C-alpha cells in the first residue's frame, strides 16, 4: 500500500511532464527535408521511448528533435555492414564466414552492374546454363566428370539424397548422424529428401561389414557425412571412402569444408575433395565459403550420371546459385589453378598459413599504438581457431595483442567496440580483450587499435 500511495503522490508531476511531450505530428513536422512517413516513424519512436523513460521514473534530458534525427541516421544506415574480425576465428560463421579474395570481389562488382551472360550462350546465340561458368573449372580442379553448384552445402546434400535415393534406402553410419550449426541435422535432411534412413554401426565404431549387411535391393545410396565441428577419439573405427565406393552402390560424400588446396599441413585432418572423387563417389558435396575461401555455395562434383540426375531433379531449380555468388566462385576457383597464388590471394588460406614473424609484427603494431595512447596492452601467446565447423582440434598458436580494459569492465569495453564505426570484435580471456592479428590485415590492425583507443576515451 505504501508503494501505491507514493505512486499517487508523484502522479500529478509525472502527468505534467507527459503532457509536455509534443504530438507525433508536431515533432514530425519539425524534421525538415525528411519523407513524411519516415518522419512520423522517427517521431513515434523517440516520443514512445521518452514516455517509457518518464513512466519508469528515469531522468531524461535532451532535445527530442535531436533524438529523432539520430534515429533517422541509424535507420538509414545499412543493417548488414563490415566489421573488424579480431577474434582469431578464421571462418567465423557469425561474421560472414570466408572473406573473399580481391579477384572475387572484383568479379562480383562487375556482375552487379548491368546485364550479363548468366544463362546465355554468346557463341551460339541461344539460352545457356549458369553452371557452365564454373563446371569446367570444378572438373579441372577435382578430376570429376561433372559438377553442379547450388546455394549451400545443406542444399547440395538434400539434392543428392533426393536425386539418388528418394523412395529408397539411404545407408548412414550412426556416428555420422550429426547436428552442426543452426540445428542442421543429417537425419532431418534425409527425411526431407524422401529417402528412408538406414543406420549402421555404433556411435564410435562402424565397420565395412555393417554396411554390407545393410545393403539390399532397395538401397539407393550410401552416404558419408563428415563430422564437421567435433571429433570422436579413442576407441573408434570408421570405413575409408575407398572401401565405401567398393560396395557397388552410389556413394554420397559430404566432406563439408571443401579442401582443394594441396600440401598445406594445417589442412591434413580435413578430407580432400580430390580423394573422394578419385575413390569413385557418385556425388561429393562441399561448401564454398569455408576452407575453399569463396562465397556461400553448395558444390557437387562426381560421376556424370549421378550429377545429371541431380541436375534434372525439380529441387535443382529451387536451390540454384545466384549470379553474384557464381561470379565470386568462378574467380576464386581460378586462383586454385596456381597453388602458390591461391595461398597468397585467398584470405582463408593466407590466414591459416600466416607465419610467426608476420603475426608478431602486427601484434606489436597494435600494442605500440595502444601504449602511445596510454592504454595498457601487451603481446602474449594465444590460440586461434579455424571455425566454420572445420578442424575443431587444430589450435593455431601465435602472438596476440592483449588489452587491459581497466578501469572499465571487459563487457563495457566490448560493447563500446561493437558500437564503433567500424565495429571491432575481439575475444575475451581471463579478463583481457584479445586482438588476434591472424584475422587482421595491417590496415585492419591499425583500425582495431584506433577503435580501442576511441572506446577507452
The pLDDT value recorded for residue 8 is: 41
Which helix (H) or strand (E) element contains residue 119?
Answer: none
Topology of domain 102-345, CATH? 3.40.640
The pLDDT value recorded for residue 182 is: 60
CATH code linked to domain 84-93+353-456: 3.90.1150.180
β pairing state of 146-150 and 298-302: antiparallel
Cis peptide before 52 (omega within 30 of 0): no
DSSP state of 230: -
Other Cβ atoms less than 10 A from the Cβ of 61: the count is 4
Distance, in Å, from the CA atom of 428 to the CA atom of 193, rounded to the nearest integer, reads 42
CA neighbours within 13 Å on the CB side: how many for 8? 4
The residues near 53 (Cβ < 8 Å, ≥ 6 apart) are: 60
DSSP state of 390: B
**Torsion over CA: 307, 308, 311, 312 (sign):** negative
- Residue 274 grid coordinates: 580430390
Domain ranges in the chain with CATH number 3.90.1150.180: 84-93+353-456
The pLDDT value recorded for residue 375 is: 95
Show pLDDT as tens, one digit a residue, over the chain (457 residues). 344 444 444 578 888 888 889 999 999 999 998 999 999 999 999 999 999 988 888 777 889 999 999 999 989 889 999 999 999 999 999 999 999 999 999 999 999 999 999 999 999 999 999 999 999 999 999 999 999 999 999 999 999 999 999 999 999 999 888 776 666 678 888 889 999 999 999 988 999 999 999 999 999 999 999 876 667 777 878 999 999 999 999 999 999 888 999 889 999 888 999 999 999 999 999 999 999 999 999 999 999 999 999 999 999 999 999 999 999 999 999 999 999 999 999 999 999 999 999 999 999 999 999 999 999 999 999 999 998 877 777 889 999 999 999 888 999 999 999 999 999 999 999 999 999 999 999 999 999 999 999 998 8
Give the residue carrying C-alpha cell 591461391.
342
CB 228 within 8 A of CB 258: no
User: What CA dihedral angle connects 248, 240, 142 and 161, to 10 degrees?
Assistant: 60
- Residue 175 grid coordinates: 556416428
β pairing state of 219-225 and 169-173: parallel
Which helix (H) or strand (E) element contains residue 256?
Answer: strand 251-256
The residues near 152 (Cβ < 8 Å, ≥ 6 apart) are: 287, 296, 297, 298
Other Cβ atoms less than 10 A from the Cβ of 114: the count is 6
| 292 burial level (CB within 10 Å; 0-12, 13-18, 19+) | buried
Distance, in Å, from the CA atom of 115 to the CA atom of 162, rounded to the nearest integer, reads 33
For 382, the 3-state DSSP assignment is: strand
Domain ranges in the chain with CATH number 3.40.640.10: 102-345
- Residue 11 grid coordinates: 502522479
Q: How remote is the C-alpha of 21 from its chain's centroid?
A: 45
Amino acid at each position: 500500500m505504501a508503494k501505491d500511495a507514493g505512486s499517487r503522490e508523484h502522479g500529478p508531476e509525472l502527468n505534467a511532464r507527459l503532457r509536455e511531450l509534443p504530438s507525433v505530428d508536431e515533432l514530425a513536422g519539425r524534421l525538415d527535408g525528411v519523407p513524411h512517413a519516415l518522419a512520423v516513424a522517427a517521431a513515434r519512436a523517440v516520443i514512445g521511448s521518452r514516455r517509457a523513460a518518464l513512466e519508469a521514473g528515469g531522468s531524461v534530458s535532451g532535445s527530442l528533435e535531436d533524438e529523432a534525427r539520430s534515429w533517422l541516421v541509424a535507420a538509414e544506415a545499412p543493417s548488414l555492414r563490415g566489421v573488424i574480425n579480431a577474434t582469431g576465428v578464421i571462418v567465423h560463421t557469425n561474421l560472414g564466414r570466408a572473406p573473399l579474395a580481391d579477384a572475387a570481389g572484383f568479379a562480383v562488382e562487375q556482375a552487379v552492374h548491368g546485364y550479363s551472360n548468366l544463362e546465355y550462350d554468346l557463341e551460339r546465340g541461344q539460352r545457356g546454363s549458369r553452371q557452365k561458368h564454373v563446371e569446367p573449372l570444378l572438373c579441372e580442379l577435382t578430376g570429376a566428370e561433372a559438377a553442379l553448384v547450388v546455394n549451400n552445402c545443406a542444399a547440395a546434400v538434400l539434392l543428392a539424397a533426393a536425386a539418388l535415393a528418394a523412395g529408397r534406402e539411404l545407408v548412414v553410419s550412426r556416428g555420422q548422424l550429426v547436428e552442426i550449426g543452426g540445428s542442421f541435422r543429417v537425419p532431418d535432411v534425409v527425411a526431407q529428401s524422401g529417402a528412408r534412413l538406414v543406420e549402421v554401426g555404433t556411435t564410435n565404431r562402424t565397420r565395412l561389414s555393417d554396411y554390407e549387411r545393410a545393403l539390399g535391393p532397395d538401397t539407393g545410396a550410401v552416404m558419408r557425412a563428415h563430422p564437421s565441428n567435433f571429433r570422436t577419439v579413442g576407441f573408434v573405427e570408421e570405413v575409408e571412402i575407398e572401401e565405401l565406393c567398393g560396395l557397388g552402390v552410389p556413394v554420397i560424400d559430404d566432406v563439408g569444408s571443401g579442401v582443394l588446396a594441396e600440401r598445406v599441413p594445417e589442412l591434413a585432418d580435413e578430407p580432400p575433395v580430390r580423394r573422394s572423387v578419385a575413390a569413385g563417389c557418385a556425388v561429393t558435396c562441399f561448401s564454398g565459403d569455408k576452407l575453399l575461401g569463396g562465397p556461400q555455395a553448395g558444390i557437387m562434383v562426381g560421376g556424370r550420371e549421378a550429377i545429371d540426375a541431380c541436375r534434372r531433379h525439380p529441387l535443382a531449380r529451387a536451390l540454384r546459385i545466384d549470379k553474384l555468388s557464381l561470379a565470386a566462385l568462378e574467380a576464386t576457383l581460378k586462383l586454385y589453378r596456381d597453388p602458390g597464388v591461391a595461398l597468397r590471394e585467398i584470405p582463408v588460406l593466407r590466414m591459416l598459413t600466416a607465419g610467426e614473424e608476420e603475426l608478431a609484427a602486427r601484434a606489436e603494431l597494435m600494442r605500440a599504438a595502444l601504449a602511445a595512447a596510454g592504454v595498457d596492452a601487451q603481446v602474449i601467446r594465444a590460440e586461434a581457431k579455424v571455425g566454420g565447423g572445420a578442424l575443431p582440434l587444430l589450435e593455431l598458436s601465435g602472438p596476440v595483442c592483449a588489452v587491459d580494459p581497466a578501469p572499465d569492465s571487459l563487457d563495457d569495453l566490448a560493447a563500446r567496440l561493437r558500437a564503433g564505426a567500424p565495429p571491432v570484435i575481439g575475444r575475451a580471456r581471463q579478463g583481457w580483450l584479445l586482438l588476434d592479428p591472424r584475422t587482421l590485415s595491417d590496415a585492419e590492425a591499425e583500425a582495431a587499435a584506433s577503435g580501442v583507443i576511441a572506446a577507452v576515451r
